[in-house]
Amino acid sequence: MLDSLLFLLMLTITLGIASQWVAWRYRFPAIVLMSLVGLLVGPFLGILNPKEDFGDMFGPMVSIAVAIILFEGSLNLDFREIRGLRHSVLRIVSVGAFIAWLLGSLAAHYVAGLSWAVSFVIGGLFIVTGPTVILPLLRQAKLKSRPATILKWEGIVVDPIGALLAVFAFEIIKFFSSEEVTATVLFFFFLGSVFAALFGWLCAKLVGWMFEQGYVAEFLKSPMVFTVVIACFTITDEIVHETGLLAVTVMGLVLANMHISSIDDMRNFKENISVLLISTIFIMLTASLSLETLLEILNWKIILFVVLMLFIVRPISIALSTIGTDLTLKEKILVGWIAPRGIVALTVSGYFASVLLNQGFEDAKLLIPLTFALVFATVVVHGFSIVPLAKKLDLAVEGKPGILIVGGSSFSTALAKSFEELNISTMVADSSWERLITARKAGVSSYHGEILSEHTEYHLDYTPYEQLIAMTEIDSYNALVCTNFVPEFGRNNLYQLCLHNDHIDDLEDLVHTIGGKILFKKGATWEELNKRVECGHVIRKTKLTEKYTYKQYLAERNDDTILLYIVKGGKVTFYFQEGEVNPEIGDLVVSLGPPNNGKEKPKPIVGSKL
């Protein structure tokens, strides 16, 4: 059965996604886990050897996957995201990359003992980080927006630059070492790079124009985009090797800044494809390594080279390139430390190892073990250190997972206030200053703006918030908000108030597909909840103990009480209509009810449905 290519492909994909799930479930760096799993099923147990199993298809499969991953990453590079950081990002991806190339080349020659030719190739290769490793780390660390934006942009933009620098160094080597290579060949390399960038720009403009003019049906848009990406990468890469990465990066960058609604609509689908490809390719690459390669990593020269790249080359390149920028010292320290290498470095090093050996450079055989040593070391070290370092530097979002409330009202203010009293980060957002009056008077954090607008997307940081509640008086708007934020929060973390429509069964299918979970018990609509707060009802917190159990609490509570949520280990779990909440001893039950649990008579509630 293990000889079946279909089975091996299924196993590789399953291992990749399973690694992602375990990493998410137990808050473990996903890249580290995928590397370990790949090594386990590859060189250690011998279950997989994708390079041999897939034969000639291995190289093209990895190349196309990397192209799609890089395109998907660059599709998130909207220039509006780096307002105020444009100068810093530009300096890091240009001056910083050049300094890292020179220093890395010097380290490879004087420490790892490589020839100048091989050193300059590997120096260019090792400036890349890339979305395959940076994006999973950013999701794990929950950095503040400034350092997260810088690391994301650097990782995606520098990827093709590093590959091109390696190719450039190789062409220079051939120019000086071979009589057959002339200045004309070198000129055509630069011309090919310019062509790749222009071709990527042209592909983006063509796709954007066809989408805007309605020449492509909705169900064909995603397949067409991926087809054009593959064509763009392949055509340019066949003309000049490794320029395909530049072409797809430019294509994604141009499309991202054309602000086409169709591209935004398919972004979630493309992110899912990217996660699948990253998981699969990382397993394939690590499983393809041999035990001999892993043993070579223990060479003291390779270990010392990796240490220099981690503690000297990267920090110096960032420190020098950010002189005169508005980055704080803490931001420089974090960015100067985090630089994990990933798929692009592994794939491109394999290509250069073979061509340099064919050119007679025997020391090129160290390229693959040297690359994997740096990849594995940076993935492990940065994967485990990014969270504690970010917290130490106060560049991570601290505290318990927060809650974003959409819709200002008396009840939303009271609910937000109850969260803040529990040290849970909370914000009330609304497009009306008038509806935010109660929140502002109560000292609750608020945001004035339309939550669905592009302006809000680039001015409101969603990182501190894990859950979202849409609680305006308009049911359709609540459902729209919940649907819009599924990619950011996940469907299980989106809630909305009870529908005004008494015949809720008529809307059952609609709510399941486009809305959030319906909060609280039936009839707890926007009007009802606000009437109760305005008539004196209060939000009360009750601690469950061995002497005062949940069963006893339910038996003694006032009939007018509405159960809102429980707090278990700092995490909020809401009562919602189609789910069960099972509080335990030590949990905090929060409810809305009459003052003093009904001992004092509240104001009459006019028109109450409960």
pLDDT at 510: 47
Domain ranges of the chain: 5-392, 400-598
Average pLDDT, the chain: 79
Q: What is the pLDDT of residues 523-535, one digit of tens each?
A: 788 888 888 888 8
CB neighbour list of residue 337: distance below 8 Å, 6 or more residues apart: 314, 315, 382, 385, 389
Q: 5-392: which CATH topology?
A: Na+/H+ antiporter like fold (1.20.1530)
Q: Residue 423 pLDDT > 70, yes or no?
A: yes
Q: Residue 78 pLDDT > 70, yes or no?
A: no
Reading across the β-sheet that carries 400-406, which strands appear in turn? 446-448, 424-430, 400-406, 465-470, 494-496, 517-518
Q: Nearest to residue 586, comparing CAs of 543, 553, 551, 540?
A: 543
For the question of whether the overall pTM of this predicted structure is more than 0.75, the answer is no
Tell me the residue type at 105: S
Tokens of 402: 């927060």
DSSP classification of residue 552: H
Residues 531-540 have a mean pLDDT of: 85
| CATH architecture, range 400-598 | 3-Layer(aba) Sandwich (3.40)
Reading across the β-sheet that carries 571-574, which strands appear in turn? 538-543, 588-593, 562-568, 571-574
**What is the phi/psi pair of residue 241, to 5°?**
-60, 135
Q: For residue 206, name the pLDDT band (cuts at 50, 70, 90).
A: very high
Counting residues of the chain whose pLDDT is more than 90, the rounded percentage is 6
Q: For residue 457, name the pLDDT band (cuts at 50, 70, 90).
A: low
Residues 136-142 have a mean pLDDT of: 71
Neighbours of 338 (CB within 10 A): 29
DSSP classification of residue 600: S
Cα angle 499, 500, 501 (rounded to 5 degrees) comes to 90
437 vs 131, which has greater pLDDT?
Answer: 437
Q: For residue 607, name the pLDDT band (cuts at 50, 70, 90).
A: very low
Q: Nearest to residue 531, comparing CAs of 436, 426, 409?
A: 409
SS3 label, residue 469: strand
Q: Nearest to residue 280, comparing CAs of 226, 352, 343, 373?
A: 343
Tell me the residue type at 76: N
94 class by beta-carbon count within 10 Å (0-12 exposed, 13-18 middle, 19+ buried)? middle
Highest-scoring range by mean pLDDT, 224-228, 392-396, 540-544: 224-228
Pairing of strands 424-430, 400-406: parallel
Angle subtended by helix axes 267-287 and 5-25, to nearest 10: 110
| Residue 531 to residue 356: CA distance in whole angstroms | 77
Tokens of 360: 């007679």
- Whether residue 339 contacts residue 377, with contact meaning beta carbons closer than 8 Å, is answered with no
- DSSP per-residue letters across 252-312: HHHHHTTT-HHHHHTHHHHHHHHHHHHHHHHHHHHHT--HHHHHHTT-HHHHHHHHHIIII
Q: What is the pLDDT of residues 371-406, one digit of tens each?
A: 888 888 888 888 888 888 888 888 876 666 788 888
- Whether residue 610 contacts residue 524, with contact meaning beta carbons closer than 8 Å, is answered with yes
| Residue 478 to residue 458: CA distance in whole angstroms | 21
- Whether residue 134 contacts residue 157, with contact meaning beta carbons closer than 8 Å, is answered with no
